[in-house]
Structure 1
């Protein structure tokens, strides 16, 4: 018995633990580490992608396998033909992995791992098999799930702040660096690619306010300078480095500290003094501020009006030009008519201005079929025949994604999308999630369930006559925390052109259960529809702080041999639970060690989750204290459970 095995054995005896799930034994695979692609992600992120592309020959009846050799079982995800085979999947990854639906056709075998934790760190192997025992190893991925982050503070009124991000020097010339922010919504803050800044997709909030160091590839200093920081800039930022095939990440949290007497208050005081001195200044500032408009709409609305009006008399031969912040032409009016040939393709057939717009001085622009990519500052400029600027105004447009929140365990949730636009009878309506998995398809006058991803089978519903009513909302039944993601509804014409598009963000919240330690029992509630299929399997699991099987019901009875030992003889479920739909679990004699995140899943023979609920259980410990005198001092010892603390 080697030193490592002895140490582990003694540790297990000390903690009095007999069974441990998901044991990870480090293996000495130096050659594999040297060749493996490194992927880094911060704990708490929604998901991480393990890349694996294959352009070689794909045999008949292929099987794509993702494995992790230090686990038992080692299977992480298996794709056979067009379906996933998760029967031998390690329970650590249950409900958290997925591949592209067209993986075998596209050759993109990349794996999405949701809600990564530190225990997911390790070496993953992507391979393909022809079913004759001949496995071809395609890619080794070394995943590092990190919890460290850098805290940065900036005081109100500062000219700038630096968000640090450093790595090894002398980076390859094709290195790509992305600064993003995802704590509020996904924002692109700054991109460096092809040895220069690439700001065409930068979020409007950061336009003109970001800067990275020169010669950053040589120095490895990828820090970001953010100018004129405000309270809205507070939050978490991710620095992602695409180095060769490695994907490295560093997290920076920015804290904005307000002054006791903030600068805006000082400015207001100065303005009040000036107002007393000269009342005419008020009109001047009012005219200045009103020249910049802000418009906020939701993604998917049919149109928005970008206002630009003037009382100035404009010549009849004036030219009106609308541009976005990337200097793309949105709309051009010249020689008494629109000039669609000068428009950028992004705005073709999406803009409209009033007729005879120069006479009343209303130069406002209607922008149709809004999407979240339309976030921008739009500039309306009027030129004379000689090219001189007669008028210039800006409109800040913010397109928000609607958010829907619901508690885990509810029977259904609706993702709203209504339109008054007249839709053709042969239009196609498609809902997809943020991993490009098909959620629901309506085409040729009816639903197309065969096109759905298996995770959404029998769980979605759309209204009748939806093309006539314009109500394209989707009802998603039995939502679980795995359904927390962004969904996109797209309406296509018969020719495949996009007529309408909208995104909806869904968040399924955990149920909260609290009880004091010493209680006889605590109930983990879960009620769903009655008369569930008799061949389903009901699993209660503990996800955090470590994974354990709490209770299993299968083949019409409990399966105590599948339980983790700590829950033996402590759990109970109702009789006739499949008929009544009451899947609640009673946990006897709860202690503080039972606190954590739990979930209940109802699975079919194909390991498809058809019902689910998650919850946070908090067992509040009772503190016991005893005092005594020693060496002339009074000592107090307190403990909760078996953990004493000295004071």
Structure 2
């Protein structure tokens, strides 16, 4: 009966609609939503259903969860820390811009039942009338060169994302991040990848492996005294994913204190293989020590981008091969266990460059180039035969007695 009463309150509140107007450029705007009684262990979600993903902010009883948040609102939203105690579910949106105008919906979910609490129509207005914009445009022309130089210096010297290169199959790589040593002891340090997966979490003075994405479990490490030294670098074991990694440092209220991006890029190795013309087969080598997940896709292609061999979902896919290579290729059966991704090519016919790429969820985890050289001995033999015939004629002209006798008769 108590739970039914709570949901009665929620249904009553959901009938409220609000309109909020604000000028672009103000510090923040508050989107109101309140309930008189907070149910047991609710999940509060602010959404804009015209966007994808639609989640603007999400609050669990354990705290905020930004995993599914729309990237446009990253680091711009917050709720009060005691919101699930007081019933004030209002959302603070920082740095509102014109594109933030729209309908925002606050919902709460309790034991799988979702209730709509409030709809807020936000209108972000332009603070400058048209005539003022024209005046500003004229003024901007006078200083555009200075602004351009300033932006160039800022973008290329202060915001350039550092790159870290790693050899394919390396045991580990370090993503560097050094900052000042004045961090409070209650900070949270999170490393995430480009898919927003949690690579490593440090919280309350220790690592939190239970909050990692399973893909990175037992593969990351940070310094033990990172708060004392300010060294927030991350050691990533068996790096097989290239892309942008982001480290953020949050205070207890969820505000970002520090942020660093590191681009991880692997060098594409190339190996050369030479085989005699007419050979039955040749092996294009590719061996890695990385621990590959079971859902990877491997594609060998030639220089013309034809599919030489495809491995997907734990088995070969001959139907995806180019007809030129049909029934001429083979890979190891236990390649995920051994890391031997080499390709056996039957009846090699010509020189070529073959590339093997390993994909997961559409991203390249690793790749390798193999240059194949097919040696044809027939032209060399013809040259040797010609040289031999020349030598015979030379020997005949110098040692055969018949020409000498003919000269004497003359």
TM-score of Structure 1 vs Structure 2, range by shorter chain: 0.3 to 0.5
Larger proportion of strand:
1
Q: Which has the higher contact order (CA 8 A, sep 6+)?
A: 2
Larger proportion of helix:
2
